[in-house]
Amino acid sequence: MEKPPAVLPIKLEPSNLRPIAYRILSKKHGLNIKSDALKTLSEHIGHKFGIEWRSAKSQLFLEDVAKLWKEQERGLFLSSEGLEEILREIQTLEIKALKSITDQGQVSANSLIQKDIVKALDLGIAIETSTNVPSTRSSSISVSKSLDWREYFKVINAFNQQIFEYDHIRKQYTLAKNQESKISFSSVDSNISLFPQRYHIVKDRIMRNEDFQANNFNPLSSITINEKHTITLVKNLLGRDNQHFLLFGMLVLVDGEWYLQDSSDKIRLDFSDVEPASGSYYTDGNLVLCEGVYLLGEFACSNIYHPDPEKRSETLEANNNLDFLGIHQNSRIDRELHNKLNVLEKELNHKILILGNNCFLDDIKVLDGLKKLFQGVSEEHELPIAIVFNGSFSSSPKHSAEYKTLFDNLASLLEDYPLIVNNVHLIFIPGMNDLWQTSVWPKQNIPRLFGSRLNRLIKNITWASNPTRLVYLSQELVFMRDDIGSRFKRNNINFKSEDNATKISNELNNNIDKIEALPPRISEARKLVKTILDQGHLSPFTKRLKPIIWKLDHIFCLSPLPHVLVLADSSTASFEVTYKGCKCLNPGNLIQRRRLNFIEYNFSTRKSEIKESYF
């Protein structure tokens, strides 16, 4: 290998580095760099990269600086003193990595820093990589032998999930100091912080969208952001009549009048001429963007729409790959381990069965359908690793003794299928008719006492909460049994405007959109999924519509989006919809006449199939 060319240091002016630093440090990572820190950074990059200070390598270096700064929680402002410490740490890491390369004579294929150390320091060390990098096949074999998938298969109860608090000043999550009080009902402080937490999480997500990022860092730039993409606080509207604004806040119904409430104040909304974006529900408690004109203490809304969600990878990157579920040993997601888990997923080809809603064990049809299903599963070449049962498990509330008998009958049925009993993990998610359930969310798991016979029979069984989360290797699945579709329909705002209705009707007649031409069940499913994921919350309602335990609001938060969201909704037809990389599934009702409905999800291919079993 030839010796790499030497790097000739240059004197880099801070004004030249400013646009790149803004794009990476401020726009992408939400950090602000002080003038003295920018000068320090310019000197270092000019010396380290020379005339290649604009190259991809120097930009990767800035990425490393930003990530290390955020990982050490040094705050939002990069100071010269703190930056010098970060640069020394990076230099120390490079020297250690270089020594490791010299000792071992090999380079890790996953390390960008190690690849560039030799050239950056101009040491001219020849490294042979072709004989030391294992093939994909041998790597896969080593992964399957070194990792046990069972250690990364977990059902996380809502009451056991880690509690994180969002600091909107520092724009980062912190682990709550008090983790023990989450089982008890919440304090007044939890109630007070509930709305601000939701508001700031979604608002900061909006501000990461390129359409809302003002290009005000570079004074030489002539590009200015469109005014309609600048969010204005309600308190700043005073005295600015007849001007156009974009507001963001929560829809609130007070004495029959609609208001928009943000972190500063609330204002009455005039919906007489509004044109809502199609394909979404609008209910009390939704966080929305409103365009319109401020006039005489009211806001005449012309457009209203939900904020766009962001992909899971983007949210994780913005939060420095924080491990929200506590699966990894430290608080961050280990990328190397994550890649190994991805490889293992493809090797194992595991699948899970998600049964339809309302598994009424007091209905003879349900028992007949389950018998046919268990028989078919037992005859398959590869068993599913888990079967999810969605409640309610009783068609009506019952006495405790009678309720226990229902699960005893299920145990009697399963005794004839030893392959399922010994090899399949059974998960039970409660519904409204199950014992110990109240109108407050989340729902407690069914007490193990009622399934004592099942507990003795089944090798692996989980009585889950509602909602609950399941982690399989690198994937996250969220399950919620709730008729949320009917709640949206009942409380959806009826925007009454004859002029708008006529205009929309004419547009549809003249130019029918392909989405509108879809069957109603598909359009309804997309509308439901879009509203929930846009809100980033499993319960985007006020406490009046859906009361929740204040302390546990975080477990309803869909930030980042899961890989799979199972909305077990009996008021909506079965569907499979993918939005922003999140696969949303609804198995529908379990029994329809003599047909049992369920969904089969393959972890390896990440594909699902809605299936039917006739009996």
pLDDT tens digit sequence for 54-71? 888 888 899 889 888 887
Answer yes or no: do 361 and 489 share one domain. Answer: yes
Looking at every residue in the chain, the average pLDDT score rounds to 85
Look up the domain containing 289 and give its range.
227-305
Q: Which two tokens stand for residue 364?
A: 């003879």
Q: Name the DSSP class of 439.
A: S
Are 332 and 401 in a shared domain? yes
| Angstrom distance (rounded) from CA 12 to CA 46 | 5
Q: 519-549 burial, b for 16+ CB within 10 Å, e for fewer?
A: eeeeebbbbbbbbbbbbbbbbbbbeebbebb
pLDDT above 90: residue 361: yes
**Sign of the torsion formed by the C-alpha atoms of 254, 260, 265 and 268:** negative
Domain-located, residue 175: no
Q: How confident is the model at residue 324 (pLDDT cuts 50, 70, 90)?
A: very high
pLDDT of residue 146: 75
Residue 388 main-chain phi, psi, to 5 deg: -105, 125
Predicted pLDDT of residue 216: 46
Confidence class for position 305, pLDDT limits 50, 70, 90: very high
Identify how many contiguous H helices and E strands the chain contains and give both numbers: 16, 23
Our CA angle for 85, 47, 111, nearest 5°, is 65
User: Would you say residue 151 lies in a domain?
Assistant: no
Q: Which of 24-28, 274-278, 329-333, 347-351 has the lowest mean pLDDT?
A: 329-333
Q: Which of 239, 274, 305 is the last residue of a domain?
A: 305
Report which of 260, 254, 255 is spatially closest to residue 299, judged by C-alpha positions. Answer: 260
Number of structural domains (the chain) is 3
- What is the model's pTM? 0.76
Residues 264 and 341 in one domain: no
Q: Is the pLDDT of residue 126 over 80?
A: no
Looking at residue 26, what DSSP letter applies? I
- pLDDT value at position 510? 53
**Both 319 and 241 in a single domain?**
no
Q: Average of pLDDT values for 487-501?
A: 79
Is residue 331 domain-resident?
yes
pLDDT-derived band of residue 138, with 50, 70 and 90 as boundaries?
very low
Last residue of a domain, one of 112, 133, 154: 133
pLDDT for 164-218, tens place per residue?
A: 899 999 889 988 877 765 555 567 888 888 899 999 999 999 999 988 876 544 4
Shared-domain flag, residues 463 and 604 = yes
Q: Which residue has the higher pLDDT, 179 or 425?
A: 425
Asked if pLDDT for residue 372 goes beyond 90, the answer is: yes
53 with 81, same domain: the answer is yes
The answer to whether position 392 is within a domain reads: yes
Q: Are strands 582-586 and 564-568 parallel, antiparallel or unpaired?
A: parallel
Co-location of 425 and 289 in the same domain: no
378 domain residue, yes or no: yes
- By DSSP bridging, strand 582-586 and strand 575-579 are antiparallel
Question: Which CATH number belongs to the domain containing residue 520 in this structure?
Answer: 3.60.21.60
Angle at 302 between CA 299 and CA 305, to 5 degrees: 100
Question: Structure tokens of 171?
Answer: 């724009």
Q: Which residue has the higher pLDDT, 31 or 491?
A: 491
CATH number at residue 260: 2.40.50.140
Indicate whether 255 and 399 sit together in one domain: no
- At residue 288, φ and ψ (nearest 5 deg) are -135, 165
Domain boundary among 113, 133, 153: 133
The two structure tokens encoding residue 249: 């806040």
Model pLDDT for residues 69-108, shown as the tens digit of each residue: 887 777 778 888 888 888 988 887 777 666 655 555 444 4
Q: Are residues 371 and 455 in the same domain?
A: yes
Tell me: pLDDT of 320 over 80: yes
By three-state DSSP, how is residue 214 classified? coil
Residue 398 shares a structural domain with residue 479: yes
| Whether residues 277 and 323 fall in one domain | no
